[in-house]
Amino acid sequence: MAKLNADPPAQVPQHIAIIMDGNGRWARARGLPRLAGHRAGTENLRRIIEACVELGIKYLTIYAFSTENWGRSEDEVRGLMGIFDEVFNRELAELHRQGARLRHIGRLEGVRKSLREKVLKGIELTKNNSRLVLSVAFNYGGRDEIVQAIRAILEDDVRPEEVSEELVSRYLYTADIPDPDLVIRTSGEQRISNFLIWQAAYAEWVFPDTLWPDFGREQLEAAIEEFGRRERRYGLVLEH
């Protein structure tokens, strides 16, 4: 495991969420197929998880596969599912050893049985870990999450006057974890892409130009340092 830098960021957010963007462009720049970029992206994730553990970040949420990604070519979707299978086979024991607790946000319906069982096994294996909570947004969409929450609220016969922001939050996939403080989207693209659209309402956003497979600890610390320079107002005017 890599050693801590001599001067880690002074202010570390409690919860970081990452849109891992740029795998396809990384592969294309090297004359490789898109799946090679996705594979490189999953290998990079290990380094970022290790860095988060060492820096004392308590919650990490990653956007692995959106509800819209099913619209990609059949070959790419099949290849991605194969890569996810491999990642669980290879990385679950190491995640557990590092004290990470695995969570899934999104829907497992429609996911092939073998992968669904691996996700549930990983959640069960790591449920008592507390060093880092790793939430994997897989088959996830922010709008779909809110629709599912509304349906559940209606099924529970909640009266209109009882509906509040706090109540809606309790029906979301992220009900038991704090909202993200910092959202990072790699590759320089500046879009939300249907990711945590409720939870990230007051998060700080950083858009580094680095493609995800090249996004390492140095870039992570730079994003955290940028977060530390922001003044979080939550819609208020702060007095100085």
Q: Is residue 110 part of a domain?
A: yes
Rounded-to-integer distance, Cα 195 and Cα 19, Å:
8
Q: Is residue 6 part of a domain?
A: no
The reply to whether 21 belongs to the active site is: yes
Least confident interval from 12-26, 35-49, 226-240: 226-240
Residue 230 confidence (pLDDT) above 90: no
Residue 196 confidence (pLDDT) above 60: yes
The reply to whether 194 belongs to the active site is: no
Instruction: Supply the pLDDT for residue 111.
Output: 85
Instruction: Supply the pLDDT for residue 2.
Output: 42
Q: Is residue 7 part of a domain?
A: no
Q: Is residue 126 part of a domain?
A: yes
Range of the domain at 74: 15-141+180-229
Q: Is residue 199 part of a domain?
A: yes
Q: Is residue 95 part of a domain?
A: yes
Instruction: Supply the pLDDT for residue 231.
Output: 78
Average pLDDT estimate for 119-130: 95
Q: Is residue 31 part of a domain?
A: yes
Rounded-to-integer distance, Cα 26 and Cα 38, Å:
9
How are the residues of the chain apportioned to helix, strand and coil, as percentages rounded to the nearest 5?
45, 15, 40
* Domain containing residue 78: CATH number: 3.40.1180.10
For residue 13 the two structure tokens come to 């957010």
Rounded-to-integer distance, Cα 53 and Cα 50, Å:
5
Q: Is this prediction's pTM over 0.85?
A: yes
Q: Of residues 5, 23, 44, 69, which has the active-site annotation? A: 69
Q: Of residues 7, 21, 89, 181, which has the active-site annotation? A: 21
User: Phi first, then psi: what are they for 128, rounded to 5°?
Assistant: -95, 0
Q: Could you read off the pLDDT of 36-88 as tens digits, one per residue?
A: 999 999 999 999 999 999 999 999 999 999 999 999 889 999 899 999 988 88
Q: Could you read off the pLDDT of 168-192 as tens digits, one per residue?
A: 999 999 999 999 999 999 999 999 9
Q: How are beta strands 132-140 and 204-206 bridged, if at all? A: unpaired
Q: How many domains does the chain have?
A: 1
Q: Is residue 75 part of a domain?
A: yes
> Sheet harboring 182-185: ordered strands across?
100-105, 132-140, 59-66, 15-19, 182-185, 204-206
